[in-house]
Structure 1
C-alpha cells in the first residue's frame, strides 16, 4: 500500500498534491474532503487506544512502542497476532485515521478490539465521538524547532508533498500554517485546552528520548497495560530508533528512509537564523507561554539558543 501511494505521488503534478478542508491543507494522495466529511460519523469504542501527534513529532516511533506494550499486555498467541495484522491488511485500513477512502470507517467497524488508532489531527478536527467516548487519548508533542526541521526534510523527500526551494521559504509556510495539517502552534493550543481531562495524557518526544523505559511505564499505566520489567527492557531495545530504522524497509516500504531519518534532539540549531529563532520564541510565548503544555514541553531547555 505504501509503495502504491509513493508512486502516485511521484507521478502527480505538484499543484494537485494538497487540498484544503475547513481552511487546513491535507495530502490529496492519501485523503479527500469526502473522507474528512465521513470521519465525522466515526464511532469510537471505549477501549480504543488513540495516539495523536502533529506530523514529525515521533508518531511512528510511539505507535511501535504502544503496539508492543498492548500486545504484551493482551498476551496474543502467534495465531491471534497474525489474524489482527491480516484484518488490517484485508480491510485496507490506513496508518492514520484521516487517510483512505470515505468507506474506510465502515470497514474499521470490523477490526477486532483493542484498535490502535493514530491521527495527526488536533481535537477540533476529530470526530465528535472521540472526545465524548471513554477512550483514552495519548498526545505526543515535540519541541517546535526540531519538529519544523524534521518536517522540512519530510516535505522535500516525500513525493506526496510539494517541495520547497529553500529553508527560508519553508519556514515562512511553517509559521503561517501553510503546510499539510496546518499550524503546529495552533495544534498545540488546541490540545492544551484538554490537558486536564483524565482520559487524555500528554507525553513529549524529548522525555521518551531521555528515558524510554520510564516513558513507556507512564504510557502503560495510563492505558492500564500490565507489563513486567523484563518486557519493558525488551520493547525498548526492539523499538530503539536505530532498530526501527534498520527494519524500516519492511515496515514502511519506500517511505522507510524518509520517515526514520535521524531522530535527534537539537538539530534545529543548524537551520534557524537569529531572526527565525526570535520569531519562533515570540510566537510560542504569545500562544502558549505559561500553559501546562509549555511546561510539559520544556521549551526553555530544548529551544533556547
Structure 2
C-alpha cells in the first residue's frame, strides 16, 4: 500500500469512529439543496471549492455514487502509471506530495484549506468527484482539463447505493429497502438525485473535452474500454500493459486486495460488482416506477440511448 493510501485509510477510519458518535440526524448537511456526509465535508469546504484552480492536464473522473468510480479510478491510475511519458520518479514525487499536503481522493472531501494545498501538487493530477456540473468549479470548464463521466443503469446503482448506505458508519441507515427506494427516487440521499445528476450531464454529451462511458460497457469489454480511456487522455501504452492492468483491476482482484488498499472500507466498497443484481430486489411496482422515471427524465436523450436501458433494466 502506498503511503498516501495508508493516510487516506486512516482518515476514513477516523471518520468512521466519528460517525458512530453522531446521531443519524447530524450525519448529513444540505448545501444548495443537496445532502452530503458531515464527517468528510462541510458547507465551508464546498464554498471554498469555488477557488479550485484547474490545470489543462488535470484528469477529472466524475460519476454518481456507486456507479463504479472507485474501480474507474484504479484503472485510470494504472493506465497513467504505465504511460511511457510518466517516469517512476514523477510517480514517487506525486505520492509523497499527496501525503504531505493531505489531499483527498474526492474533490468535495476535506477541510476548506484543501484547495490551496492542491495548488502544490505536481501534475498530472487525477481528481475524482460525485458532483453534478453546476457544482463543479468553473475553472474546470474554463481550462482544457478532460472529464471522464462514468454512468451506470439506475436499478443496479440504487441497489448498490442502498447496501453502501446501510454499511457506511458516516451515513444514516434505512430501516428497509422500501424506505430507501422512496428516498432514492426523490433525491433524498447523499449527493442528491441520480436523475437530476444525469439530466444535467446529458447537456454535455457533445462537449469535446468530456467522454462518457457506461459501467456496463466497461464490464463487457474492459480492454476495449481502457483503450478508449487511454486515447482520450493521451496515455501511450503497450498492448501487454492493457492485459496486465485488466487482470490487476478485475473486480475479484480488487476485492481480494481491498483490506490492504482500503482498510475497513474494503468490504463496503467491493460487494458484488455485477450487472443485473436489481432483479433480486425490486418489486413489480418499483420496477414500473423506475421505468416511468427514466423515460420521463432521460427517454429520447443521447445519454439515455447510450445507457441501453432496454437491455439492462428490463426483466
2:266 is aligned with 1:265: no
CA distance in 1, matches of 2:284, 2:48: 44
- Tell me if the contact between 1:3 and 1:254 (Cα under 8 Å) persists in the aligned partners: yes
User: Structure 1 length as normaliser, TM-score?
Assistant: 0.98
1:167 lines up with 2:177 in the alignment: yes
1:276 to 2:286 alignment: yes
The CA RMSD measured in Å over matched residues stands at: 1.0
What SS class does the counterpart of residue 127 from structure 2 fall into? strand
Question: What are the within-5 Å matches in structure 2 for residues 127-146 of structure 1?
Answer: 127-146=137-156
Structure 2 SS opposite 1:290: coil
2: CA distance between counterparts of 1:242 and 1:78?
27
Say yes or no: does 1:94 pair with 2:104: yes
CA distance in 2, matches of 1:160, 1:286: 33
SS across alignment from 1:216:
helix
1:46-195 aligned within 5 A: 46-74=56-84, 76-195=86-205
Is 1:249 the equivalent of 2:221?
Answer: no
Structure 1 residues 30-39 or 6-15, which shifts more?
6-15
- 1:82-111 deviation line (CA, Å, top 9, x unaligned): 322121111111110000000000000011
Alignment gaps of 5+ in structure 1 = none
* Runs (4+) off by over 3 Å: 74-80
Q: Is the 8 A contact 2:152 2:214 kept in 1?
A: yes
Instruction: Assess if the C-alpha contact under 8 Å between 2:223 and 2:246 holds in 1.
Output: yes
- TM norm structure 2: 0.95
> Aligned residue for 1:22?
32
Deviation track 1:116-163 (CA, whole Å, cap 9, x = no partner) reads 000000101101111121110000000000000000000000000000
| 3-state DSSP of counterpart to 1:295 | helix
Cα distance in 2, alignment partners of residues 79 and 196 from structure 1? 37
Hey, what's the Cα distance between the residues in 1 that align with 2:146 and 2:233?
A: 7
Which of 173, 177, 198 aligns to 2:208? It is 198
* Inter-partner Cα distance in structure 1 for 2:89 and 2:185: 48
Q: How many aligned positions are there? A: 305
Please, which moves more after superposition, 59-68 or 2-11?
Answer: 2-11
SS at match of 2:76: helix
Aligned to 2:8: none
- Find the residue that maps to 1:131 and give its secondary structure: helix
CA distance in 1, matches of 2:239, 2:84: 16
Q: Which moved more, 1:42-51 or 1:69-78?
A: 69-78
**Distance in 2 between the 1:212 and 1:10 partners?**
38
Q: Does 1:212 align with 2:212?
A: no
**Structure 1 residues 260-299: Cα deviation after superposition (integer angstroms, max 9, x where no partner):** 1110110001111111001100010011101110111111
**For 1:144-192, what per-residue CA distance to the aligned partner results, in whole angstroms no more than 9, with x for missing partners?**
0000000000000000000000000000000000000000011000000
| 1:202-229: CA deviation from partner (whole Å, max 9, x where unpaired) | 0000001000000001101111111111
